[in-house]
Structures are given as C-alpha cells and as structure tokens.
Amino acid sequence: MGLLDLFITASMPVLKVLLITALGLILALDRIDLLGQDARKHLNNVSIWSISFLNLIYSLFSSLVASCISFQICCCYQNYNSLKL
C-alpha cells in the first residue's frame, strides 16, 4: 500500500465530518432558510437533548468502568495475598 493510498484512507473520516458540518451550516443559515423557524427550533431541541443524554450516559459508564477496574485489581491482589499466607 503506497503512501498516497494510506493518506487517502486516513483522510476519509475527516472529509466526511467536514461534509456533514458544511451541510449543517447550509441548513442553519438564515439567508438560505431551507428549514424554517419552527423546524430549526425543533432541530436545536433534539440536538441539545441528545447531546445531554449522551453526556450523562458517558459519565455513568466511565465511572462504572473505573470502579470495575479498581474492584478487579483489589480482588486480584486479595487472592494473591491469601495465597501468600
């Protein structure tokens, strides 16, 4: 695989994000006004609620994973200490 092929493969996700950002910018502009005032308000509400819900889920799972890892480490050392005695 050549260097150019590797660069193109690596840049595709970035280009997709930029394309979605440009589409959102076009939909949000007042001069073009594809959505209208009510649709823009509802779309903003959906995005705010979904982002806040995903933030909540992320914080829940990150704390859960950290506590599980610490619990597993404690159990591992506890078994080691009981075998040592």
pLDDT greater than 60 at residue 57: yes
N-to-C CA span, the chain: 56
pLDDT tens digits, 28-56:
888 888 888 888 889 888 888 988 888 88
Neighbours of 61 (CB within 10 A): 10
Q: Where are the domains of the chain?
A: 1-34, 37-85
pTM given for the model: 0.49
Angle CA 56–62–64, to nearest 5: 100
Q: Which amino acid is at 30?
A: D
Query: Which pLDDT value is given to residue 75?
Result: 57
